Amino acid sequence: MIDIVVKSKKWVEIKNIENFVEKTIQKIIPLTDLKKILKKNFILEISVSLVSDLQMKKINLEFRGKNKATNVLSFPALDENLIRQIGLKKLVGACEYLFLGDIIIAFETLKKESLAQKKKFHDHLTHLILHSILHLIGYDHEEEKMAKIMEDLEVKILKKLKIKNPYQLNF
Residue 165, pLDDT above cutoff 50 = yes
- pLDDT, residue 170, reads 58
Mean pLDDT along residues 11-21: 93
Tell which wins on pLDDT, 19 or 81.
19
Q: What DSSP string describes 4-37?
A: EEE--GGGGGSTTHHHHHHHHHHHHGGGSGGGGT
Q: Which residues contact 145 (CB under 8 A, 6 or more apart)?
A: none
Mean pLDDT along residues 128-142: 89
> Which helix (H) or strand (E) covers residue 56, if one does?
helix 53-64
- pLDDT, residue 8, reads 93
- pLDDT, residue 113, reads 94
The CA angle 10-70-15, to the nearest 5 degrees, is 25
2-160: CATH topology: Collagenase (Catalytic Domain) (3.40.390)
